[in-house]
Chains A and B, each alone.
Chain A
Amino acid sequence: MAYRLSLSRMDELLEKMRESYTIYAPMRFEKRGRYSDTDLVRYDKIRSVRDIVYDEKSHFSPKEVIHPITQALFHFTEFEYRESEVDERPVLVFVRPCDIHGIQRLDTMFLENGDAADPYYKRLRDKVKFVLMECGKGWDTCFCVSMGTNRTEDYSLAVRFAGEELLLEVKDPSFRPLFASEKTADFRPEFVSANRLTVRLPEIKSRDVLEKVHALPLWESYDTRCLSCGACTAACVSCSCFTTSDVAYSENGRSGDRRRVWASCLHKDFTVMAGGHGFRKTPGERMRFRTLHKVYDFRARFGGADMCVGCGRCTDRCPQLISFAATLNRLSGEVDRLNAEAAAATGVSV
Chain B
Amino acid sequence: MNHDIDIKKLQVNCFRQSKVPGEFMLQMRAPGGVVQAKYLAVVQHIADTWGNGQLHLGMRQTFSIPGIKYENIEAVNEYLRGYIEEVEVASCDVNMDVNEGGYPTIGARNVMACIGNSHCIKANIDTLSLARKMEKLVFPSHYHIKMSIAGCPNDCAKATFNDFGIVGIAKMEYDYDRCIACERCVETCASHATRVLSLENGKIVKDVCCCVGCAECATVCPTGAWTRRPTKFYRVLIGGRSGKQYPRAGKIFLNWVTEEVLLAVIGNWQAFSAEVLNHQPRYLHGGHLIDMAGYEKFKEWILKGVKLNPEAEVAERLYWTETEYRSNIHVKPVCGVD
Contacts and interface: CB of A to CB of B under 8 A. Distances in A.
B177 A69 contact: yes
Given A32-B224, A40-B224, A261 B184 contact: no
B227 A36 contact: no
A216 to B, nearest CB: 26
B224 A42 contact: yes
A230 B182 contact: yes
B202 A247 contact: yes
Interface string B218-239: 1111111001101000000000
Nearest to A29: B227
B193 to A, nearest CB: 16
Contact of B126 (A33, A37, A69, A231): A37
Interface in A232-267: 233-234, 245, 247-249, 259, 261-264, 267
B331 to A, nearest CB: 43
Nearest to A263: B180
B124 interface: yes
A61 to B, nearest CB: 12
Given A247-B201, A267-B182, A234 B121 contact: no
Interface residues on B, range: 20 to 34
Given A37-B126, A70-B176, A248-B201, A229 B227 contact: no
B215 interface: yes
Contact of A69 (B178, B184, B219): B178
Contacts of A37: 117, 126
Given A261-B181, A264-B180, A264-B222, A40 B227 contact: yes
Contacts of A319: 219-220
B220 A229 contact: yes
B125 interface: yes
Report which residue of A37, A247, A249 has the largest number of chain B beta carbons within 10 angstroms of its beta carbon: A37
Interface in A25-42: 29-37, 40, 42
Contacts of B230: 30-32
A333 interface: no
Question: Taking chain A's interface residues, is the majority helix, strand, or loop, or is none over half, making it mixed?
Answer: loop
B204 interface: no
A262 B126 contact: no
Contacts of A261: 179-181, 202
Nearest to A64: B178
Nearest to B223: A234
B7 to A, nearest CB: 44
A36 B228 contact: yes
Given A245-B202, A259-B202, A230 B126 contact: no
Interface in A1-52: 29-37, 40, 42
Nearest to B173: A32
A40 B126 CA distance: 18
A247 B202 CA distance: 7
Given A36-B124, A40-B224, A264-B222, A249 B180 contact: no
A262 to B, nearest CB: 5
A59 interface: yes
B123 interface: yes
Closest 7 interchain pairs by CB? A36-B117, A31-B230, A231-B222, A32-B227, A234-B222, A230-B222, A70-B177
17 contacts: A29-B227, A30-B230, A32-B227, A34-B221, A35-B117, A36-B123, A36-B215, A69-B177, A69-B180, A230-B184, A230-B222, A233-B222, A234-B222, A247-B202, A261-B179, A261-B181, A264-B180
